[in-house]
Amino acid sequence: MVDGRTRRRTDTRQRLYEAAMDLIAEHGFSATTVEDIALRAGVAKGTVYYNFPSKNALFEELLRHGVGLLTADFRAAAGGLAPPEAVLALIRAELAYIERHRSFAQLLLSEMWRTNREWHQTLQLLRGEAVDVIAQVLRRGVDEGHFDAALDVRMAAAALFGVCLVVAVDWLVFEPDRSLADVQGALITVIRARVGI
Amino acid sequence: MVDGRTRRRTDTRQRLYEAAMDLIAEHGFSATTVEDIALRAGVAKGTVYYNFPSKNALFEELLRHGVGLLTADFRAAAGGLAPPEAVLALIRAELAYIERHRSFAQLLLSEMWRTNREWHQTLQLLRGEAVDVIAQVLRRGVDEGHFDAALDVRMAAAALFGVCLVVAVDWLVFEPDRSLADVQGALITVIRARVGI
DNA sequence: TGACTTGTACTGACCAGTCAGTCTAAAAAC
DNA sequence: GTTTTTAGACTGACTGGTCAGTACAAGTCA
């Protein structure tokens, strides 16, 4: 099933994914050259074009791959839990994902709300799937009386997704030495805190 | 005092600011060409270089200008209020600012956490000034017993700043027809809501 | 053998930044 | 008050360089 050829090719693609992720997160899509990606992945430029039809396509598959993993993590984290615990689990899952895929998180944050790009549509769709998992949990929480009935579920889901992203990337950029557990704790305290407004 | 020359030049620079803001927000810094900016502003490419030493410098001045306005709005909004009301005022100020300067908000969200850029340092500094205004209000709120003493003030400030940005840009991109007041209300409800976790 | 990879060379489009020259408001000269 | 000069503001063709994508001959590996 997993013959040597396929494994080899998968490896190459994986290395290209990672290289592209790091570079695009650092410099942005336009400022990252295909040659740089190939160099960082340790392959020839031709190999990039053997494996992907274009720079855009590489990036789009990258997005699909990365967001797909996040959505899967979300589903696994929330599955079978009561809404309050599920929300906590989702926060933990998002932070853990961001720690594991730092570059990708930065990339998402930079490109998520950028319109007028070829892959904008794709990204919106993918994001929608991830945020939907959160929204479903919140909706169930409202229905079952755990959460305030006045809650705008869609907005709350987007907000929750967004805060985690922003806080986590902030942490990675400014306080990389702080532990994930600590950040997680502080963030949950912030979300929990009655700010009394 | 206001001779024709200076007025003309100021106008040109203003038009260049606005054109650059819109285009960079839509396409990103690298994907926006100086020629596009000039065209949109209705001047020749050379004029851009007559008014600014480089594309980077234009963008940096743009950032300084835009974030400066936001910080000023923050200071004006929070001034003289007790912490709980000041936090509300800050949220309103940020959303109002974002509505008034849509492109700039999108631009900020995209470029804020991008490292390895010439203007990265500048942007971090500017952001720090804005977030500091929020942090000071929160600190005072903790000291005066309005807010939970366990609050990580820096993180809370960053989180608050971030949620507003994310929620507002989300709104502009996905539900532009919804009114600002409505979004404001929903966001404050979300922040207030005991999610009971 | 055939799928995959390499390395090099190339093309054509595009783009940041330059520069010699034009236009015009206003200062100077008469 | 009219003419001349000056300099600030602007123009757009041009340059040097970069980069996505192509082509292909030769090499590796199952």
Predicted pLDDT at A5:
55
* Residue carrying structure tokens 């606005």: B18
Q: Can you give the distance from the CA of residue A66 to the C1' of nucleotide C8 in angstroms?
A: 33
* Residue carrying structure tokens 């994986």: A14
Residue closest to sugar C1' of C15 by CA = B33
Alpha-carbon dihedral angle through residues A16, A56, B21, B134, given to the nearest 10 degrees: -40
Spell B62-93 as b/e; 16+ CB within 10 A means b: bbeebbeebbebbeebbeeeebbebbbbbbbb
Decide if A167 and B187 are in contact by the 8 Å CB cutoff: no
* The pair of three-digit structure tokens given for residue A197, joined into one six-digit string: 């407004």
The boundaries of every CATH 1.10.10.60 domain in chain A are 1-52
Residue closest to sugar C1' of C7 by CA = A44
Decide if A155 and B190 are in contact by the 8 Å CB cutoff: yes
Residues with CB under 7 A from strand C: A 5-6, 8-9, 11-12, 42-47, 50-51; B 3-5, 32-35, 45-46, 49, 54-56
- Going by pLDDT thresholds of 50, 70 and 90, the confidence category of residue A110 is confident
The boundaries of every CATH 1.10.357.10 domain in chain A are 56-192
A103 vs A37, more confident: A37
The CATH class for the domain spanning A1-52 reads: mainly alpha
Mean model confidence pLDDT for chain B: 91
Under the phi-then-psi rule, with left for phi > 0, alpha for psi from -120 to 50, and beta for the rest, what region is B41? alpha
A116 vs B152, more confident: B152
Would you identify the CATH topology of the domain A56-192? Answer: Tetracycline Repressor; domain 2 (1.10.357)
* Residue of chain A whose Cα is closest to the Cα of B124: A174
Report how far residue A118's alpha carbon sits from residue A84's, in angstroms, rounded to the nearest whole number. 38
pLDDT in tens, A126-171: 999 999 999 999 999 999 999 989 899 999 999 999 999 999 999 9
Span B109-136, mean pLDDT?
91
The boundaries of every CATH 1.10.357.10 domain in chain B are 57-192
Q: Which residue, A157, B30, A119, is CA-closest to A165?
A: A157
* Residue of chain A whose Cα is closest to the Cα of B27: A116
pLDDT in tens, A8-25: 677 899 999 999 998 998
Residues 6 or more apart whose Cβ sits within 8 Å of residue A182: none
- Going by pLDDT thresholds of 50, 70 and 90, the confidence category of residue B1 is very low
Span A78-96, mean pLDDT?
95
Q: Does A146 touch chain B (CB under 8 A)?
A: yes
Q: Can you give the distance from the CA of residue B45 to the C1' of nucleotide D15 in angstroms?
A: 15
Would you identify the CATH topology of the domain B57-192? Answer: Tetracycline Repressor; domain 2 (1.10.357)
Report how far residue A145's alpha carbon sits from residue A70's, in angstroms, rounded to the nearest whole number. 28
B1: helix, strand or coil: coil
Put simply, the chain B residues between 152 and 191 with a CB less than 8 A from any chain A CB are 152, 155-156, 158-159, 162-163, 165-167, 169-170, 173, 183, 186-191
* The pair of three-digit structure tokens given for residue B182, joined into one six-digit string: 């409505």
- Going by pLDDT thresholds of 50, 70 and 90, the confidence category of residue A36 is very high
Q: Is the pLDDT of residue B59 over 70?
A: yes
* Partner-chain residue, chosen from B110, B115, B147, that has the shortest CB–CB distance to A195: B147
Span A80-85, mean pLDDT?
94
pLDDT in tens, B68-101: 999 999 999 999 999 999 999 999 999 999 999 9
**Chain D nucleotides covered by protein, CB below 7 Å:** 8-14, 18-25, 29-30
Provide, rounded to the nearest whole percent, the portion of chain B with pLDDT above 90: 72
Provide, rounded to the nearest whole percent, the portion of chain A with pLDDT above 70: 94
Apex B119 CA angle, B118 and B123, nearest 5:
150
Angstrom distances, CA of residue B31 to CA of A30, B45, B68: 6, 16, 25
Q: Does B82 touch chain A (CB under 8 A)?
A: no
Residues 6 or more apart whose Cβ sits within 8 Å of residue B62: B17, B20, B21, B24
Span B120-131, mean pLDDT?
94
Answer yes or no: is B8 CB < 7 A from strand D.
yes
